[in-house]
Amino acid sequence: MLRLYNTLTRAKEEFQPVHPGEVRIYTCGPTVYDYAHIGNFRAFVFADILRRYLIYKGYRVTQVMNLTDIDDKTIRGARQANTSLSDYVKFYSTAFFEDLQTLNIERAEHYPAATEHIPEMVALIQRLLERGYAYQAGGSVYFKVDAFPEYGKLSYLEERQLQAGASGRVDADEYEKEDVRDFALWKGWTEEDGDVYWETEFGKGRPGWHLECSAMSMKYLGTPIDIHAGGIDLVFPHHENEIAQSEAAMGQRFVRYWVHCQHLLVNNQKMSKSLGNFYTLRDLLKQGHKARAIRYSLLSTHYRQAQNFTLDGLASAEAAVQRLQDFMANVQTAEGTGTSVEGLSKRATQQFEEGMDDDLNISLGLAAIFEFVRDVNRLMADGRLSRDNAPRVMATMRQFDRVLGLLDDADTAPDADVERLVQAREQARKRRDFATADRLRAEITALGYVIEDTPRGSRLKRL
Ligand SMILES: [Zn+2]
């Protein structure tokens, strides 16, 4: 039975979906105004592990991740780049999807963009106005926090902190608010918005950021949904506001389980451009780091612990991934006289699931896998792993990899040219033309691969 830590109750709870066998997840997505950084990707990799483990457990998953394409940052970015908002955000959404693929993050079922759901947001605002939870002032519409007594139930903040937190975020154009905690559902047009606005019955303007997640979650997943996931920094005010808007409008619970991923630090400091410790995924790839190593690094700390990202840590992640990938290749060369691996395989699977069932304890999950690798390696070293055992071992590893996503390595998949050279070299060796074989080996090395000859043929490894 899977147990998840619910931020709302501050407790680990048994996971029970609203509809048996089905899980509906909403994940707060990126603001597409720049390349996402590795702190953002830690939360997205976490959501991917959650998604993959639910699928591993046999659930049918419907996941929605929004793209915030309308806010101060996207508008400012488009203006500075002297381009239209839609061209500007298109560039960064495309980059975001490329990055997801690089990190082997499974695609969600829906990626709604805020600008494509203005009617849904307007309808939600109308509903809140009708029910007395919102008011119009100065061309904007605000949520009336006072009308929703449960406000603060997710973040556990005292009244005083709620006020301080909210007042830190008051925009200059929000002085019409009745209460410092109130937040904008609809922002009246200002000059900085330029040609970015929608004409509605509330006047010319654009939706507030918090509103889009409520509107799109309800549209694609209904209420209540099973899981809402995001980074810990979103708890207040974003998720608190989402709860207020959604529950005030619908008169029922919005989300059953709130799960939040902790921060990522770099060299024990908050990532910032001025400290020179700010990395996008692309920065790391340019430095020659491998995509699967970055994925491993981001998933290997339990999601409720702050992660300290370092380049040394990334190097160990690379070694760990290499170990798993080498293992998969080595197992295929087993030539021993075999004992059964059934017991080992079952034990590893059980340990893996026990760990992951306990609030996705990835440390226990990974420990189970590496112990299995060690045990099988020992059998092989003793000549006790037969060729017939290999498929069972590999199937077990593939099972784990449905959750981890580390074995099919985009980095090391050799291209067709290299494969052709390998085949040509095999043929040269068969006809004992060693001069040609050596020349081809040198060509393959030049392309960044080494060939290892085994009794059952040769295999490639990236240098
Ligand atoms: Zn959100």
Tell me the pLDDT tens digit for each residue of 4-32.
999 999 999 999 999 999 999 999 999 99
On average, the pLDDT of the chain sits at 92
Quick check: 140 pLDDT over 70? Answer: yes
Quick check: 171 pLDDT over 60? Answer: no
Rounded to the nearest angstrom, the distance between the alpha carbon of 58 and the centre of ligand 1 is 27
Digit-coded pLDDT (tens) for 117-135? 999 999 999 999 999 999 9
Rounded to the nearest angstrom, the distance between the alpha carbon of 212 and the centre of ligand 1 is 7
The reported pLDDT for the residue numbered 26 is 98
Quick check: 161 pLDDT over 90? Answer: no
Residues 6+ apart with CB under 8 A from 338: 384, 385, 386, 387, 388, 389
Rounded to the nearest angstrom, the distance between the alpha carbon of 30 and the centre of ligand 1 is 9
Quick check: 141 pLDDT over 60? Answer: yes
DSSP 3-state of 229: strand
* Helices assigned H by DSSP within 222-341: 240-250, 281-286, 291-299, 311-331
**What's the whole-number mean pLDDT along residues 88-95?**
96
Distances in Å between the alpha carbon of 104 and those of 15, 100, 143, 405, 461? 26, 6, 39, 6, 21
Q: Do 60 and 21 form a contact (C-beta atoms < 8 A)?
A: yes
Quick check: 114 pLDDT over 90? Answer: yes
Length of the chain: 463
Q: Do 229 and 202 form a contact (C-beta atoms < 8 A)?
A: no
Rounded to the nearest angstrom, the distance between the alpha carbon of 235 and the centre of ligand 1 is 10
The reported pLDDT for the residue numbered 430 is 86
Quick check: 166 pLDDT over 70? Answer: no
The reported pLDDT for the residue numbered 69 is 96
Report how far residue 299's alpha carbon sits from residue 182's, in angstroms, rounded to the nearest whole number. Answer: 37
Of the candidate ranges 200-209, 273-282, 376-385, the one whose mean pLDDT is the lowest: 273-282
Quick check: 342 pLDDT over 80? Answer: yes
pLDDT band at 414 (very low <50, low <70, confident <90, very high): low
Rounded to the nearest angstrom, the distance between the alpha carbon of 258 and the centre of ligand 1 is 12
Is the backbone of residue 439 left (phi > 0), alpha (psi -120 to 50) or beta? alpha
Rounded to the nearest angstrom, the distance between the alpha carbon of 238 and the centre of ligand 1 is 6
Report how far residue 99's alpha carbon sits from residue 169's, in angstroms, rounded to the nearest whole number. Answer: 30
Rounded to the nearest angstrom, the distance between the alpha carbon of 255 and the centre of ligand 1 is 13
Lookup: tokens for 217: 């979650």
Rounded to the nearest angstrom, the distance between the alpha carbon of 29 and the centre of ligand 1 is 7
Rounded to the nearest angstrom, the distance between the alpha carbon of 247 and the centre of ligand 1 is 15
Rounded to the nearest angstrom, the distance between the alpha carbon of 229 and the centre of ligand 1 is 9
Of the candidate ranges 50-59, 139-148, 356-365, 441-450, the one whose mean pLDDT is the lowest: 441-450
pLDDT band at 452 (very low <50, low <70, confident <90, very high): confident
Q: Do 179 and 144 form a contact (C-beta atoms < 8 A)?
A: yes
Rounded to the nearest angstrom, the distance between the alpha carbon of 154 and the centre of ligand 1 is 14
DSSP 3-state of 281: helix
Rounded to the nearest angstrom, the distance between the alpha carbon of 232 and the centre of ligand 1 is 12
Rounded to the nearest angstrom, the distance between the alpha carbon of 396 and the centre of ligand 1 is 37
Q: What is the dihedral of CA 390, 396, 399, 401, to 10 degrees?
A: -80
**What's the whole-number mean pLDDT along residues 146-165?**
84
Q: Which amino acid is located at 352 in the chain?
A: F
DSSP 3-state of 228: strand
Rounded to the nearest angstrom, the distance between the alpha carbon of 210 and the centre of ligand 1 is 6
Rounded to the nearest angstrom, the distance between the alpha carbon of 343 and the centre of ligand 1 is 45
Rounded to the nearest angstrom, the distance between the alpha carbon of 425 and the centre of ligand 1 is 55
Quick check: 170 pLDDT over 60? Answer: no
Quick check: 77 pLDDT over 70? Answer: yes
Per the DSSP assignment, residues forming a β-bridge with 280 are 37
Q: Do 314 and 38 form a contact (C-beta atoms < 8 A)?
A: no
Report how far residue 332's alpha carbon sits from residue 447's, in angstroms, rounded to the nearest whole number. Answer: 25
Report how far residue 298's alpha carbon sits from residue 103's, in angstroms, rounded to the nearest whole number. Answer: 10
The reported pLDDT for the residue numbered 447 is 76
Give the residue with greater pLDDT, 438 vs 143: 143
Q: Which of 267-281, 310-324, 423-437 shows the highest mean pLDDT? A: 310-324
The reported pLDDT for the residue numbered 280 is 96
- Beta-carbon count within 10 A of 426 CB: 15
Report how far residue 108's alpha carbon sits from residue 449's, in angstroms, rounded to the nearest whole number. Answer: 34
**What's the whole-number mean pLDDT along residues 222-238?**
96
Rounded to the nearest angstrom, the distance between the alpha carbon of 136 and the centre of ligand 1 is 23
Rounded to the nearest angstrom, the distance between the alpha carbon of 66 and the centre of ligand 1 is 7
Rounded to the nearest angstrom, the distance between the alpha carbon of 211 and the centre of ligand 1 is 8
The reported pLDDT for the residue numbered 338 is 76
Quick check: 173 pLDDT over 70? Answer: no
Rg (CA), the chain: 26
The reported pLDDT for the residue numbered 415 is 67
Rounded to the nearest angstrom, the distance between the alpha carbon of 26 and the centre of ligand 1 is 8
In degrees and rounded to multiples of 5, residue 276 shows phi and psi of 70, 20
Rounded to the nearest angstrom, the distance between the alpha carbon of 109 and the centre of ligand 1 is 17
CA torsion through residues 295, 299, 303, 309, sign:
negative
- Beta-carbon count within 10 A of 189 CB: 19
CA torsion through residues 338, 343, 345, 347, sign:
negative
Rounded to the nearest angstrom, the distance between the alpha carbon of 262 and the centre of ligand 1 is 16
Burial degree of 339 (CB within 10 A; 0-12, 13-18, 19+): middle
Rounded to the nearest angstrom, the distance between the alpha carbon of 445 and the centre of ligand 1 is 48
**What's the whole-number mean pLDDT along residues 184-199?**
94
The reported pLDDT for the residue numbered 327 is 96
Quick check: 341 pLDDT over 80? Answer: yes
**C-alpha closest to that of 230 among 292, 282, 124, 154:** 154
Quick check: 368 pLDDT over 50? Answer: yes
The reported pLDDT for the residue numbered 172 is 46
